[in-house]
Structure 1
Amino acid sequence: MNAIASQLVAASTSHIDPDIVISARDLVKAFNSEVVALDRASFDIKRGSFVSLVGPSGCGKSTLLRLVAGLIGKSAGELSVLGHGVTGPSHDVGMMFQRPTLLEWRTAVENVLLPTEVQGATTDADRRRAIELLQLVGLRDFEFSFPRQLSGGMQQRVALARLLQTGANILLLDEPFGALDEFTRERLNLELLRIVDDVEATVLFVTHNISEAIFLADQVMVMTPRPGRLAKIVDVSFERPREIALMQTPEFNRLVGEVRSILGGH
């Protein structure tokens, strides 16, 4: 590469912040040219951060996750992951949904191995990794159980282990604990924070629950009703590790009130 070409490359990349892993500018998604699900959203998500996305039903939260995952295409604006425009699914991005969608005829470890099998033949190392991940999410001694033998919370743990098996370092979670009882949900929130810290992942987490959004996140992105716009990004400065008792503190309740006020103002 000659000197002039090197200067041009340097000029084109100098503005890219290596700590920003997801970036959007005036991002728009419309369906059938009529329903605008997401309207001119702009944001940056830093490497290793946990960002919650909260808002009313139909405001575009899940649509935004699917755009980042490359499952659907944008209508307008810019969206990049790890410095590259999103044109389709990427091995760097993994997604988990509200329902675990486990295969009933496969054991927990066999379900976790599914992403590896899709990519090709599994190895003994893959199998050992799957067992380690199940133990990481708190399922020691349940590695060879079938889904029917597991509670709803345990099945979601299997789904989380399967997500980690992909090796993705950007994790998109679409209301993964929304169907669980509050006690199980709180326990899994604590487990999720521990696991995310262990694997040093970047997380974008969709929820309807304001308290859950604040408890988990470094930042909360607050969405307006359709057409979904990004009303405000609220910083959450609580130190980690976090405990459930945090939810009883005045500062936590102040943030809950702030987010609720933002939602109520739209």
Structure 2
Amino acid sequence: MKIHLLILFVLLPQFLFSQTRIIDMHVHSYSDSDFGEREPASDHYGMKGSATAEQHRQETFKAFEQFNIVKAMVSGNPESVINWAQKDNSNRVIKGILQFAPDSYGMDSVRFEQMVKDGDIEIFGELGPYYSGTTLSDPEWQPYLRICERYDIPVAVHTGGGDPLGTHTWAPKARLKLGDPYLIEDVLVNYPKLRIYMMHAGGEDWPEHAIRLMAYYPQLYTDLGVMLWVEPNTQRYITEFLKNIKHAGYLDRVMFGSDQMIWPYAIEKSIDFLNSLDFLTEEDKTGIFYDNAARFLKLE
């Protein structure tokens, strides 16, 4: 009897966490045409990613099941997102679109609005103006934002920097200064009804700008993204961000996002790191893992 009680005592926390619902607001999909096009073969820790686009999808879906991820905002090229949604038997996928420039994939506002009407875009993002040398406040993005406000489509925008070698390879127009969250302030002013969230909480460079912006604009949320797992330095910054935003009183607008890219193991790594932060209460963690995103997404 004592042995059984001891086993129960050891396993109970794991069981309880396994029942915790999670919404991942930052997942990436690929097709064969762009798999591994932007990411290095190995991450900071020397871990290689999935070998193919299909293996990556299967491994990510397995992680969804294992960690009770009930919703996931998936962004990638339109072909890959539709493929993921069609193979999703549990209604987890929220269809996004990875767009670095206003005309990515030959996009224009007419085609974009039709995709919104058809239900092929449910969140406009991940948007990466940083990578194309623009900002979300620039004129070329405004037709899309007007459509998003009209149809109540949330917007997800990259903040902070990118991979260190990106400017010398696939994103020659990227500049660090373009990742400053303050550069989306005009969007917040001009579209007060727009649901918008930052990705990466300002990154390593502007976490305080992210907090300040959230203080001024209560419609603004953020995810934690790649900061939770990609390397020790980002974990240092996101730890301080969470301490500071909790102290400031805006933790209820912080959402979980794994940004697993081609490494599905990053989902578990992100969850484990967030759970290791003992200054966050269980209520805080439940908010970040599920409640805050459910409110942002207007889930019933």
Name the structure where strand makes up a greater proportion of residues.
Answer: 1
Question: Could you say whether these structures have the same fold, taking a TM-score greater than 0.5 normalized by the shorter chain as the test?
Answer: no
TM class by smaller structure: 0.3 to 0.5
Q: Which has the larger radius of gyration?
A: 1
Question: Which has the larger share of helix?
Answer: 2
For CA contacts below 8 A with separation 6 or more, give which structure has more relative contact order.
1
